[in-house]
A and B are shown apart, each in its own frame.
Chain A
Amino acid sequence: MLLLRKGRRALLAALFISTAHGQNTAPCAACHGVDGNSVVVGTPSLAGQPRIFLENYLVMTREGLRGNDVMRGLLKGVSDKEIIALAVHYSKLKPKPPVGKTDPKLFNRGREIASKNRCASCHEKTFAGREQMPRLAGQREEFLAQVMLEYRQNRRPGGDTLMTAALYGIPEADFKALAHYFSRLK
């Protein structure tokens, strides 16, 4: 709730602070990490995400179509120009190598499902993402699984609806394997 109240000014300050001083006091950095690599459960890493993906995400969240109350509150009244600046900033940060133990069985299963469903054709062979399609490599595992579930339940509107269709036919149980695989990629 504190974040909510801080609102727009804090957000812009955060951009400035995290760019200029790398302090951990800013609203963005508090959850997404000073360097854009999140260590908070359920909160995605932003470092190295494609600029257009970030722009779209921030706009849709501001419009109240995506995200959670905290993010919607922070983005209230933020202009397109400011959103573009945020997107440029985070797209330029370096993603950190993944942490956490790898379960080889789950990892391989995830790789198989990803290959069968041609995930790489949009998200790139390295899963670094491009344009409006997000980076999956090194993203937080529980966040990825959650997002896939939201697509499945029509709770994640997008610029278009292709991602919803891309998950057709993949059982929910397989989301776990996919999330594990992507999260362990550099």
Chain B
Amino acid sequence: MRKTTLSLAAASVLALSVQCAFAQDKPKPPPAWHQGKPAAMADSKLAPVPGKMTETPESDIPISKMKLPKGFKAEIWASGLVGARAMTMNDDQTKMWVGTRGIGRVYEVTNEGGKRTVKVVAEKLTQPTSVYANGALYVFAIDKVLRYDNAAKGVSGQPVDMTKAFDLPPQQHHNWKYVRVGADKKLYVPFGAPCNICEPEKEYAQIRRYNLDGSGKEVIAVGVRNTQGFDWHPKTGELWFTDHGRDWLGDKGPEDELNRLSKPGQNFGYPYCHANKVVDPDVAKGKKDACKDVTLPVTTMGPHTAVMGIHFYTGSMFPKEYQGVAFIARKGSWNRSKKIGYDVVAVKAGPDGKGAKVTPFATGFMDPKDNSFWGRPAYLAQLKDGSLLVSDEQLGAIYRISYEAPAKKK
């Protein structure tokens, strides 16, 4: 090979160097979709649950079906936000912005005088999400980063295009991004694996952080298949994040995960080691110690449940036992014959992640009797009064969960 290269080089140095550079940089094509879908499941008809892309009037939202622990109640806080996902608010919570996936919009919700009005402030984007920080609204699409300055009182005018600074890889699958700004004033941005199961190129299956202008890119977690939400622990300041397990290994798993990043650079196992040491049957073949040096989850979160947003509760409205609890929205399964998830759960764990216990909190979105559902809880946010907001991606609505202690018997 070397000899050939040398003789060729003599003939045309420039042409060869161009060619070589191209050959090296050309990404390996990701594997075909059927990989990871075993012959035994070839006839399976499981497919993603269709999202709803048209508006659902408030009167068509069966909020009364939502079940909560005693003393809690739910109401419709906002509706008409087709495909609503992650929520971000300005400091006084008079403005909220809500991103979407397929419909390509970012909504602005104005919260004034006990009423909410909704308008679209960004559109025609590929799966946009948004985060408010330092008076600006950052919008992340799969292929674009936009910054709307002076957004505290509402987004107006043209954004600054920041795309070039962020070095976004091109693949779309699993690359909708949940984005937050940490106490370190850095943007935390995930890059999912662009496949069900594959050995992805090095820019995927990770969480990065950047300075607000896109400089200082740093990969802080690897082996992350598809995180859809994270929050910082209120006591330790450590990043806790949800992660989706792979598909097509049957109803039992591998389970979704709740992870804790205790130091930058930790490896969370994908694609070789899933959940609590489930070695991948497709890509880890013949690999010794597939789970070596892998940081295992704080807790597994159920098979195919689609764990989304996480929020550590810090309000004073809910009973004491909810202090510091991690609420997690589980959008609900598709790659499972019996539906699971479609709820919000409460995870109680030590600050080091030990002794985690998962209990149902908001349920009733899905009926196990006939495998039907009406809503898909996606993200969580906390209002100043301590009530909890839950976005429902299916019906494009936001619900408010509040608590009132039952009156004491005289």
Main secondary structure, interface of B, reads loop
* Complex CA–CA separation, A84 to B82 (angstroms): 14
Residues of B within 8 A of A63 (CB): 103-105, 123-124
B10 within 8 A of A: no
A94 within 8 A of B: no
Give the interface centre of A158, A164, A165 by most chain B CB atoms within 10 Å: A165
Residues of B within 8 A of A169 (CB): 29-33, 35
Q: Which positions 99-132 of chain A face chain B at CB distance < 8 Å?
A: 116-118, 121-122, 124, 130-132
B21 within 8 A of A: no
* Complex CA–CA separation, A52 to B52 (angstroms): 8
5 contacts between A and B (CB under 8 A): A117-B33, A118-B37, A159-B53, A168-B29, A168-B32
List chain A positions with a Cβ less than 8 A from chain B.
52, 55-56, 59-60, 63-65, 80, 83-84, 116-118, 121-122, 124, 130-133, 154, 157-162, 164-170
**Contact, CB under 8 Å: B32 / A170:** yes
Per a CB cutoff under 8 Å, which of A52, A116, A158, A168 touches B31?
A168
B387 within 8 A of A: no
**Contact, CB under 8 Å: B42 / A121:** yes
B172 within 8 A of A: yes
Chain B proximity of A46: nearest CB distance (Å): 17
Chain B proximity of A181: nearest CB distance (Å): 16
**Contact, CB under 8 Å: B54 / A59:** yes
* Complex CA–CA separation, A52 to B50 (angstroms): 8
Chain B proximity of A137: nearest CB distance (Å): 16
Chain B proximity of A79: nearest CB distance (Å): 9
Per a CB cutoff under 8 Å, which of A56, A59, A84, A166 touches B33?
A166
**Contact, CB under 8 Å: B195 / A154:** no
Q: Closest chain B residue to A157 by CB distance?
A: B126
Give the interface centre of B35, B47, B123, B170 by most chain A CB atoms within 10 Å: B47
Residues of B within 8 A of A64 (CB): 104, 123-124
What total of chain B residues lie within 8 Å of the partner, measured CB to CB? 40
Mask, B159-200, CB within 8 Å of A = 1, is 000000000001111111000000000000000001110000
Residues of B within 8 A of A131 (CB): 47, 50
Per a CB cutoff under 8 Å, which of A59, A60, A168 touches B195?
A168
B383 within 8 A of A: no
**Contact, CB under 8 Å: B47 / A122:** yes
B202 within 8 A of A: no
Per a CB cutoff under 8 Å, which of A65, A121, A154 touches B44?
A121
Supply 15 further A-B pairs (C-beta < 8 A) apart from A59-B54, A64-B123.
A56-B50, A56-B51, A59-B103, A64-B104, A65-B126, A118-B34, A121-B37, A154-B170, A154-B172, A158-B102, A160-B101, A162-B48, A164-B173, A167-B33, A168-B33
Residues of A within 8 A of B194 (CB): 165
A165-B46 contact in complex given A63-B104, A117-B33, C-beta closer than 8 Å: no
**Contact, CB under 8 Å: A160 / B48:** yes
Q: Closest chain A residue to B45 by CB distance?
A: A121
A159-B101 contact in complex given A55-B53, A64-B124, C-beta closer than 8 Å: yes
Chain A proximity of B346: nearest CB distance (Å): 28
**Contact, CB under 8 Å: B105 / A161:** no
Q: Closest chain B residue to A113 by CB distance?
A: B32
Residues of A within 8 A of B46 (CB): 121
* Complex CA–CA separation, A80 to B174 (angstroms): 28
Q: Which positions 121-146 of chain B face chain A at CB distance < 8 Å?
A: 123-124, 126-127, 143
Per a CB cutoff under 8 Å, which of B31, B51, B174 touches A161?
B174
* Complex CA–CA separation, A65 to B126 (angstroms): 8
* Complex CA–CA separation, A122 to B33 (angstroms): 12
Instruction: Give the top 4 A-B pairs by smallest Cβ distance, nearest first.
Output: A169-B32, A132-B50, A159-B102, A80-B54
Residues of B within 8 A of A158 (CB): 102
